Amino acid sequence: MERKTLLLSANYLPLQVLHWQEACKMKWEGTADILVEYDEEIRSPSIVWKLPAVMRLKRQTKRNKSRVVRFSRSGVYIRDGFKCQYCGQRFRYEQLTLDHVVPRCKGGQTTYQNTVSACVKCNNAKSDKSCDEWGHWPLKKPVVPAFLPDPGPRITSATMPPEWEGFCSAAE
């Protein structure tokens, strides 16, 4: 059985995708309410439950604001608004690449201060040149973000069960 459960925050925002076993544990503990169920059932000698498809946390989780923002590809894309920092066009996650402003072959580090979102066309055109050599510079100076919103789970229309519709917006 490979059913997954979509877990929502108390504010109905998608938080994560759980294995059905973890979802059943949360139901048993009473930490989340079931909003939608699958038709399949699980059985024990004493209970019969339908598998949870969508659950909502009963309490809002607290976010640790003193947390350091760790470097990640998705963090760079979110910081840059999913825009290529050279041509300014907006792209989907799968269409973006990371560009090192100072190329790694010239001593550039993989940090927030040296990476920007770039489309494949611009990244290929820049290649291993510096911005001075290429003659183009990022639209915004790359900085370490003070805060990044949680992007939530990456759900595509191909992987999203029909029971989740209306609770999340799937990327194409």
pLDDT of residue 172: 46
Q: Is the pLDDT of residue 1 over 70?
A: no
pLDDT of residue 156: 67
Beta-carbon count within 10 A of 11 CB: 9
Residues 6+ apart with CB under 8 A from 6: 14, 17, 18, 53, 54, 55, 153, 155, 164, 167, 168
pLDDT of residue 145: 87
Burial class (CB in 10 A: 0-12, 13-18, 19+), 79: buried
Q: What is the mean pLDDT of residues 45-74?
A: 82
Q: Under a CB-based contact definition with an 8 Å cutoff, are residues 129 and 103 in contact?
A: yes
pLDDT of residue 169: 61
- The pLDDT tens digits of the residues spanning 77-98 come to 989 999 999 999 999 888 999 9
Question: Tokens 């598998």 sit at which residue?
Answer: 51
Q: What is the mean pLDDT of residues 119-133?
A: 94
pLDDT of residue 74: 86
Q: What is the mean pLDDT of residues 130-138?
A: 93
Q: What is the mean pLDDT of residues 94-105?
A: 94
CA distance 137 to 107: 18
pLDDT of residue 86: 97
Structure tokens at 60: 């809002």
| Whole-Å CA distances, 149 to 45, 75, 76, 77 | 44, 9, 12, 12
The CATH number of the structural domain formed by 73-134 is 1.10.30.50
pLDDT of residue 13: 82
Q: Is the pLDDT of residue 67 over 70?
A: no
Q: What is the mean pLDDT of residues 115-135?
A: 94
Domain regions of the chain by residue span: 4-61+155-164, 73-134
Q: Under a CB-based contact definition with an 8 Å cutoff, are residues 50 and 123 in contact?
A: no
- Residue ranges with strand state E in 9-145: 14-19, 32-43, 48-57, 96-100, 115-119
Q: Is the pLDDT of residue 56 over 70?
A: yes
pLDDT of residue 152: 63
pLDDT band at 153 (very low <50, low <70, confident <90, very high): low
Q: What is the mean pLDDT of residues 41-65?
A: 83
pLDDT of residue 154: 67
Question: Tokens 């109905």 sit at which residue?
Answer: 12
CA distance 22 to 33: 13
Q: Under a CB-based contact definition with an 8 Å cutoff, are residues 81 and 116 in contact?
A: no
Q: Strand, helix or coil at 115?
A: strand
Task: Tell me the whole-structure pTM to 2 decimals.
Answer: 0.57
